[in-house]
Structure 1
Amino acid sequence: MKSVFDYERRELTDALKPAPAYRASQIFKSVYQRWIADFDAMTDLPKSARAELASVWNVRLPEARRRFESVDGTRRYLISLADGEPAETVFIPEARRNTICVSSQVGCALGCTFCLTGKLGLLRHLSAGEIVSQVLVAQRDNLSMDRRNDFNIVLMGMGEPLHNYDNVMKAVRILHDEHGLNISMNRITLSTAGMLPGLERLAVEPDIPNLAISLTGATNAKRNELMPINRKYPIEQLLETVRQFPLKRRQRVTFEYVLLKGVTDSPEDAMNLARLLRGLRSKVNLIPLNEAEDLDYERPPDEAVERFQNILLGQNISAFVRKNRGNDISAACGQLRANDPLPPSAALPLEGGVNASQARPSLPLRGGEPPKAAGGQNSAIRHPSHLL
């Protein structure tokens, strides 16, 4: 069966020929705007067409096999993929607008030393449909139909989005399609650790989401230690590429900076960061480390966080301290795929049309040749050394 979620509307139009061109738009509206998961319910289609489509195409979302709920309202989902691997997705409720954080890969190849996901290596890329489906599962489990578009999307879950460039950008276009979710590019943010070839490709796209750079170190010495990708693409090259990145009026690049006690939180670190970003249309999100047993770093005290922020503000750098959300369910920044912190009996049943399957343990990473990702890409990279 082919998944509709893997197809852009123009691709679906071609795949459905000789059906009329508007057939793809009808299906997109039914699936993305009316939440229909069965061709029989698409009453705007001829009955004969419904039966034929149902024999070839799938419009049902993957199952969320587990859902964890934080005391702060954050929800973390393990969504079952066709090969049994989970895609991790986080829904973060906010007063003004909610946020859905989606993964672009199973695991990550970059090996950032302060991130639990990076310790896993990379198993495979996610297909465009597997990325899109994460948004839909979280949307339908948390929002009513009349508020179905009340959310932003951030590509900040498991994986490096620019390492899976083609599938990620295809997913972004599907989410942006006016006959689909119709999410503005201003409400989609792509975060990268600094893969320059992908960043250069992104700069010439006709439609570009917001850009966030995971920096966590204002010198090559610090960044080489914390983020091995910096050895391939050093900080000077990264910043020069960002300076040339096209920005709309009033748009800024976000720099994410993880504060590690005694490593990246000193006044000298703050001044180095301020000098690095001077003249850039940017803002800084300061992220106090989300501590975990498997990480060799500690969260700095609140006074150190405040001091760091004040130094940046004093240098006319916009700086905000990101609130830690979902720590108790391993949903916070850098914690995805760390573990299943709750026993199966504590995982909540899903409502709103998304059914949870019986809880199963997460599959271990396998050695040898990884399987092809849905969508046909073969991910042979499992460790950051393959990128360097």
Structure 2
Amino acid sequence: MDKVELNSLTLQKLREYMVSIGEKSFRGNQIFSYFHKNFGTSISEANILPRALRDKLKDCVKVNNIKIFKRFDSKIDNTKKYLYLLEDENIIESVLMEYNHGISICVSTQVGCKMGCSFCASTKEGLIRNLTPAEMVNQIYMMEKDTKKSISNIVLMGSGEPLDNYDNTMKFINIIHDKEGHNISLRNITLSTCGVVPRIYDLAKEGMPITLSISLHSPFDEDRKKIMPIATKYSIDELMEACKYYGEVTKRRITFEYTLIENVNDREEDIKELLKILRGVNCHINLIPLNPIKEFNEGRPEMVNIQRFQRELAKHNIAVTIRREMGGDISASCGQLRRRYSKSSDLSTFQ
């Protein structure tokens, strides 16, 4: 029988588990706070629990821990990129970004990704596996322990598609939000998806006031299919209907991520069609200048054209910004460093 991964359980499930093994439910609260408020990593060191209970748990549970494999510090800004070594020797990455309003962390939800977006480095080797809730929260805890700084905002925009790892992602959000643990406001959590339409409806019904961010990248179905394979499964009309439903149910403004690719999706006709499909949608558009990778042979528009695109949308009362590049000197975009190290590193030398 597989052992229960104790630090992946929500508070409610942890309380239920304690009762199932003949213990009082409040022990679940103690264990939850040990992991998620006090950065605990080992049941044997959880001195808040009686020795007999710790010995009992060692036989039937496990605790999932990750290690910092490498940290890269930007000389341009205060961005830090972390490569983490998982227990099975897979590597994932997270990014810490400092802004005037606080510290944000970009969290990975999978090792690799199967969505196949042509300009994304995370997906080039496909999906290796889903991350557990513990592996997601520990990305945050390891950064806070390393920097001695508190995270204020979480962006599920690292490697992987969060809605493709739906159940574990929901558990992660539940755990990181719980007041008995890290107590991160749901309004400070952003979930980014390439557009898994059925799961957008499911997410709306969760009753979580998180920010939904949609990777759009083209307003035309045929053009979107060329760069985002998921567009062959869900049309833009279907995606927009799901977004409208999400907005109506949650009363939250949706963000649309739009990577600008020269002569592909930065044309006048793209602007006109964007305005058409976003009519009546409470949204914000985040323009992202393409970050070139060697597997995608397209270019980034000149800044003058990026600014023109922004102005044209703003003229029609669309909230639109150009994303500020962070950590450009340390390959802070998702997937770039993980692929390099997973291909070339001798992990046996890790200390």
Q: Same fold (TM over 0.5)?
A: yes
Instruction: Supply the AA of the counterpart residue of 1:337.
Output: R
Instruction: Supply the AA of the counterpart residue of 1:31.
Output: F
1:99 positional shift:
0.9
- Aligned counterparts, 1:206-225, within 5 A: 206-225=207-226
Q: 1:249 to 1:50 in 2, by over 3 A?
A: closer
Deviations 1:84-109 (A, max 9, x none): 11122111122211111111111111
1:246 positional shift:
4.2
SS of the aligned residue for 2:56 comes to helix
Q: Distance in 2 between matches of 1:277 and 1:358?
A: 51
The aligned residue for residue 195 of structure 2 is: 194
- Gap runs ≥5 in structure 2: none
1:158 aligns with 2:159: yes
The aligned residue for residue 118 of structure 1 is: 123
SS of the aligned residue for 2:338 comes to coil
Deviations 1:328-350 (A, max 9, x none): 22222564634249x98xxxxxx
The aligned residue for residue 374 of structure 1 is: none
Q: Distance in 1 between matches of 2:210 and 2:223?
A: 28
Instruction: Supply the AA of the counterpart residue of 1:287.
Output: I
1:141 aligns with 2:143: no
1:223 positional shift:
0.6
Q: Which has the higher contact order (CA 8 A, sep 6+)?
A: 1
Q: Distance in 1 between matches of 2:315 and 2:326?
A: 27
Instruction: Supply the AA of the counterpart residue of 1:232.
Output: K
Instruction: Supply the AA of the counterpart residue of 1:122.
Output: L
Q: 1:183 to 1:248 in 2, by over 3 A?
A: farther
Deviations 1:231-280 (A, max 9, x none): 11010110011111145787310000000111111232222212221211
The aligned residue for residue 3 of structure 1 is: 5
Instruction: Supply the AA of the counterpart residue of 1:28.
Output: F
Please say if residues 31 and 59 of structure 1, whose CA atoms lie closer than 8 Å, have aligned partners that are also in contact: no
Q: 1:323 to 1:358 in 2, by over 3 A?
A: farther
* TM-score, normalised relative to structure 2: 0.90
The list of structure 1 runs, each at least 4 consecutive aligned residues, that deviate by more than 6 angstroms after superposition, is none
Q: 1:37 to 1:164 in 2, by over 3 A?
A: closer
Q: 1:319 to 1:357 in 2, by over 3 A?
A: farther
User: May I ask how many residue pairs the two structures share in their alignment?
Assistant: 345
Which range is displaced more, 304-313 or 103-112? 103-112
SS of the aligned residue for 1:274 comes to helix
Q: 1:55 to 1:249 in 2, by over 3 A?
A: closer
1:52 aligns with 2:56: yes
- Gap runs ≥5 in structure 1: 345-355, 361-388
Q: 1:212 to 1:59 in 2, by over 3 A?
A: same
Which range is displaced more, 71-80 or 248-257? 248-257
Q: Distance in 2 between matches of 1:41 and 1:132?
A: 20
Q: 1:285 to 1:335 in 2, by over 3 A?
A: farther
The aligned residue for residue 24 of structure 1 is: 28
1:357 positional shift:
8.8
The aligned residue for residue 180 of structure 1 is: 181
Percent of paired sites with the same residue: 37
Aligned counterpart in structure 2 of residue 83 of structure 1, from 84, 88, 91? 88
Q: 1:158 to 1:335 in 2, by over 3 A?
A: same
1:285 positional shift:
0.5
Q: 1:67 to 1:56 in 2, by over 3 A?
A: farther
1:70 positional shift:
1.9
Q: 1:284 to 1:234 in 2, by over 3 A?
A: same
Q: 1:42 to 1:338 in 2, by over 3 A?
A: closer
Instruction: Supply the AA of the counterpart residue of 1:118.
Output: T
Please say if residues 286 and 323 of structure 2, whose CA atoms lie closer than 8 Å, have aligned partners that are also in contact: yes
1:70 aligns with 2:71: no
The aligned residue for residue 114 of structure 2 is: 109
Q: Distance in 2 between matches of 1:228 and 1:38?
A: 42
- Aligned counterparts, 1:266-281, within 5 A: 266-281=267-282
1:40 positional shift:
5.6
1:12 aligns with 2:17: no
SS of the aligned residue for 2:255 comes to strand
Larger proportion of helix: 2
Deviations 1:200-255 (A, max 9, x none): 21111133521000000011121111111111101011001111114578731000
SS of the aligned residue for 2:340 comes to coil
The aligned residue for residue 289 of structure 1 is: 290
Instruction: Supply the AA of the counterpart residue of 1:86.
Output: I
The aligned residue for residue 229 of structure 2 is: 228
1:262 aligns with 2:263: yes
The aligned residue for residue 172 of structure 2 is: 171
SS of the aligned residue for 1:337 comes to helix
